[in-house]
Amino acid sequence: DPLDMKAHVRDAVLRSLSCFLVAVAAAVVIVAWILYSVITGYRRIFLALMRSNYYQGRTLVRELGMEAFHPQFGTYFAGALVGNCLMAFMFTLALAWMN
């Protein structure tokens, strides 16, 4: 029956879209958590630098000086992190779409 076939196709499309949206929501939560944890870590390190407190990178500063934390390197690592998060997000979306 053609009407039954249309209902089957409609249900399959809705099921596929709902799975895709659930995967998107999960990927957004994961990427947001990663970015939040990294930004919190950066904030803690730079606050420790401003207060001249010791932190995990004190050996780097002792050996290399403050040049170890040049803004160019921070920008590079932050950009690499965001790029990796976006690639992981797109990979998750592709896997969800193939499912």
pLDDT digits (tens, 9 = 90+) for 36-81: 887 887 787 777 777 776 655 667 667 777 666 666 666 667 777 7
If you count DSSP H runs as helices and E runs as strands, how many of each does the chain have, helices first? 3, 0
pLDDT number for residue 85: 77
Q: How many CB atoms lie within 10 A of CB 20?
A: 14
Compute the distance between CA of residue 27 and CA of residue 82 in angstroms, rounded to an integer: 14
pLDDT at site 37: 81
Residue 73 CA to residue 57 CA, distance in Å, equals: 14
The number of folded domains in the chain is: 1
pTM attached to this predicted model: 0.49
User: What backbone phi and psi angles, to 5 degrees, belong to 67?
Assistant: -65, -15
Q: Which domain holds residue 44?
A: 2-98
12 versus 64: which is more confidently predicted? Answer: 12
| pLDDT reported for residue 3 | 66
Average confidence score pLDDT of the chain: 76
